Amino acid sequence: MSEHNVVADVSGRVWKVEVTEGQQVEEGATLLIVESMKMEIPVEAPVGGTVLRLMAAEGDMVTDEQVLVVIASA
């Protein structure tokens, strides 16, 4: 099993979290949505697996390259 850090592509505010810890996700699934400069930017799973940790909550400010979600894949 390997862990994958999913990072923010832009700085902004977490508008919506679409997953929970322990949830199974497929590659390409939307994990959360970051609002930046009035645009909603989806953050997608780079791999399929299990959401181990959510590192940001709705309303949190995040920065470019900040780890938002950790996914464990087989």
What would the two tokens of residue 52 be? Answer: 């181990």
- Residues 6 or more apart whose CB falls under 8 angstroms from that of 73 comprise 1, 2, 4, 47, 48, 49, 50
Mean pLDDT of 60-73: 97
In the chain, the domains with their CATH numbers are: 2-73 (2.40.50.100)
pLDDT of residue 74: 78
pLDDT of residue 37: 93
pTM of the model: 0.93
Give the pLDDT confidence of 9-63 residue by residue, as tens digits: 999 999 999 999 999 999 999 999 999 999 999 999 999 999 999 999 999 999 9
CA distance 61 to 49: 26
